[in-house]
Amino acid sequence: MTDERERVQPSGVWATAVGVARVRALESERADALFRDPLAQAFAAAGGLWPSSSPLPDDETARRRRLAVSFSIVIRTKYLDDLLLRASASGVRQVVLLGAGMDSRAFRMDWPEGTRLFEVDTAAPLDFKASVLRQERAVARCERITVAVDLREDWPAALTAAGHDPAAPTVWIAEGLLIYLPEDAVELLLARISTQSAPGSRMGLTLGSRGVIEGIGADAEPGSPASMWVSEMPDDPVGWLAGHGWQADSHTLHERAAAYGRPVSTPPQHEKRPGGLISAVRR
Ligand SMILES: C[S@@+](CC[C@H](N)C(=O)[O-])C[C@H]1O[C@@H](n2cnc3c(N)ncnc32)[C@H](O)[C@@H]1O
């Protein structure tokens, strides 16, 4: 058990999860917030990103890039919150957050009686998260189960051992995750999710829009989230998911942002292609 003094500090790919928390903390302070995440600030502070993070860069391109990433995090969070509410309303009682990071949905959303929520990530971010949750005396609003495993390994076995029932429907969330996995690992992840999904299962994915790695990732600062991006979405995400047995809808960030009252006047070029926000139902 880690306490505050010996808490492991964010590093490598999981440091991105603390950066995401910082964006959610900022959004939560807005009067017109699309969601409120009361734990986000504590995660950001524990990771050294609050109250001050590095200031916005002077360079206009770098500045726009940072704002674009923050914007995408806010919109995708709202999109997936709504997807989870629909899944609960349809009777799904198992939730699996793949690459859960500092996701605090177990604590901030209302869950129907009997909901079991699994958070899957590697051990270091889960330990860090546990120490912040203890410090905040946070109480989950559903049954919350953490599963420390690398998603390139045999995670379905670890998930089942932790109590997941593949015979009952599940809603799967892979938010801000797939872009960090090579394409063969993404294929394997999807195949495994599919074999663990009973009829009635649902899924919410965020994909790296085509061109985003060239446009944003290629010249990103070393160590920044964008510098670790390795995979983009397929040209036809709906067809790709149909091949895995899912009926999917895709949305662009800008289309969803407009629907949420946060329109942006000029979507970047890569946003004109099929969207990076995916909602799917098991066929
Ligand atoms: C950008 S963060 C997003 C976290 C969370 N889904 C959210 O939106 O708040 C990416 C997360 O994926 C996790 N991740 C990346 N590669 C992973 C792997 N191979 N196995 C398990 N987790 C992984 C990282 O540890 C990190 O927590």
CATH at 277: 3.40.50.150
Whole-angstrom distance, CA of residue 188 vs CA of residue 185: 5
Which residues sit with their C-beta closer than 6 Å to ligand 1? 13-14, 16-17, 20, 99-103, 121-122, 125, 150-152, 175-177, 180
* % the chain with pLDDT above 70: 84
pLDDT at 11: 87
CA of 41 to the centre of ligand 1 (A): 18
pLDDT top residue among 208 and 215:
208
Strands 202-206 and 170-174: parallel
Nearest to 213 by CA among 268, 175, 256: 268
| Ligand 1 pocket: which of 8, 9, 13 to mutate (most atoms within 8 A of CB) | 13
pLDDT at 51: 84
67-99 confidence digits (pLDDT tens)? 888 999 999 999 999 999 999 999 999 999 999
pLDDT top residue among 56 and 168:
168
pLDDT over threshold 80, residue 12? yes
228-281 confidence digits (pLDDT tens)? 766 666 878 999 999 999 999 999 999 999 999 998 876 565 555 556 899 999
pLDDT over threshold 80, residue 122? yes
Contact 263, 75 (CB under 8 A): no
pLDDT at 8: 86
- Among 79-88, 122-131, 192-201, 273-282, the minimum mean pLDDT is found in 273-282
pLDDT top residue among 197 and 8:
197
CA of 62 to the centre of ligand 1 (A): 23
pLDDT top residue among 230 and 183:
183
* % the chain with pLDDT above 90: 71
Q: Which residue has its alpha carbon closest to ligand 1 atom 9?
A: 103
CA of 149 to the centre of ligand 1 (A): 11
pLDDT top residue among 108 and 226:
108
CA of 100 to the centre of ligand 1 (A): 6
In whole angstroms, how far apart are CA 31 and each of 26, 34, 50? 11, 9, 20
CA of 17 to the centre of ligand 1 (A): 7
Across the chain, mean pLDDT equals: 89
| Ligand 1 pocket: which of 180, 193, 205, 206 to mutate (most atoms within 8 A of CB) | 180
How remote is the C-alpha of 83 from its chain's centroid? 13
pLDDT at 6: 77
Whole-angstrom distance, CA of residue 94 vs CA of residue 148: 18
pLDDT over threshold 60, residue 124? yes
**DSSP bridge partners of 280:** 203, 248
Please give the tally of structural domains in the chain.
1
Domain hosting 244: range is: 4-282
For 245, the token pair is 């047995």
| Ligand 1 pocket: which of 151, 177, 188 to mutate (most atoms within 8 A of CB) | 177
